[in-house]
Amino acid sequence: MLTVVLQQGINGIIVGSLYVLVALGLTLIYGVLVQINFAHADIVTLGAFVAYFITHWLSGNYFAGIAVALLVGAALGWLLNAAVFAPLRDRGNELLPLIATIGVSIMLQNAMLVLLGPIPYAFETPYSNHVIRFGGIFFTVQSVLIVVVSTIAVGLLYLFMKFTLLGKALRAVSQDRDTAGLMGINPGQVVMLTFVIASALAGLAGAMLGPVLVLTPFAGTSVIVKAFAIVIIGGFGNVEGTIIAGLIVGLIESFTTQFLDPGLIDIVVFALLLLTLAVRPTGLIAERREENV
C-alpha cells in the first residue's frame, strides 16, 4: 500500500508540475493586466508542435526542441500584445481584449488544423521509454525532465521577479500602473515583457506536455480548462497560490485515478473548485495587489 501511495504521489507531482507551467502564464497576465488570455492554450499547443518537429528534424535533440518552443512562445507573446492587447487596452472597454483573444484562439486552432491536419501525432522523445526503478516505484527519464524543467522555470521566474529591476518594475505596474508610470517606469514595455514571459512559459509547457499528450491542434484546450481552475483555486494573480494549487490538482488527479475512477477526475477537480469558491472565494492565497506576481 505504501508503494502505491508513493507511486501516485510521484505521478501527481509530475502532472502538477505540468499544470503549474501552463497556469503560471495565465497568472502573470492576470496579475499585471487583470485580463485573461484565451489564446494561451493555443500557444501551448504550438509549443508542443514546434518541439515535436524540431526534435525530429534534429534527430532526437529534444533539448533543442524545448529551446525553440520557448523562443517561439516568447515571439508569439510579443506579437499578441502588439497586434491585439496594445491597440485595445486603452479603449475603455475591458471586454474588447478578452473577446479578441477568443478570436485569436479560434484563428490559431483552425490554422493548425489546415497546416497539420486532424490526425493525431505521437511525440516520443529519446527519454520517453527510459524507465528508472526504485523497488516497486518507477518513472521515466521524461518525467524527471518535466519536474526538473518546471522547477528551474519557477525558480528563475521567482529570482527574476524578486531580485531584478525589471521584475520589480513588473510588480510595481501590477500594483498601480499610473503611479509606476509617474516613477519613470514605462508601463507599455512592462506589459509587453509580461506577455513575452507568459507566452514563453506556455511554449515551454507545450514542449513538456507534447510527449504526454496525443498531439492535435486542440491539445492545449484540454489542459487550459484545468489551468484556469488552478488559477482560481490558487487565488487569481498570485504566483505562489498557483504553484500550490497546481501541485494539489496533480495529486488529486493521481489519487483519483488509483483509488476511484479515471472518469471521475474532472468531477473531483471541479468539485474542489466549487468548494474553494464557496468556502474561500479569494482562493488559497487571497489576492492582494501588493503581493501579486
Closest residue by Cα to residue 234 from 248, 253, 224, 220: 248
Phi then psi for residue 103, to 5 deg, are -65, -40
Question: What residues contact residue 247 under an 8 Å CB cut-off, 6+ apart?
Answer: 12, 13, 16, 17, 20
Work out the mean pLDDT of the chain and round it to a whole number: 85
Distances (CA, A) of 172 to 87, 198, 199, 234, 240: 22, 17, 20, 21, 17
Mean pLDDT on 210-224: 85
Task: Output the pLDDT for position 176.
Answer: 73
Residue 53 — very low, low, confident or very high, per pLDDT cuts 50/70/90? very high
Contact predicate 248/287, CB 8 Å:
no
In the chain, DSSP finds a helix count (H) and a strand count (E) of 12, 2
Q: Which residue has the cell 513588473?
A: 170
Contact predicate 215/118, CB 8 Å:
no
Task: Output the pLDDT for position 97.
Answer: 80
DSSP string, 259-282: HS-GGGHHHHHHHHHHHHHHH-TT
CATH class of 2-279: mainly alpha
Q: What is the pLDDT of residues 171-189, one digit of tens each?
A: 888 777 778 777 778 888 8
Task: Output the pLDDT for position 287.
Answer: 56
Q: Spell out the domain ranges in the chain.
A: 2-279
How far is it, in rounded angstroms, from Cα 46 to Cα 224? 13
Task: Output the pLDDT for position 292.
Answer: 54
Q: What is the pLDDT of residues 54-109, one digit of tens each?
A: 999 988 899 999 999 999 999 999 998 888 887 877 666 777 888 888 888 999 99
Task: Output the pLDDT for position 92.
Answer: 64
pTM listed for this prediction: 0.89
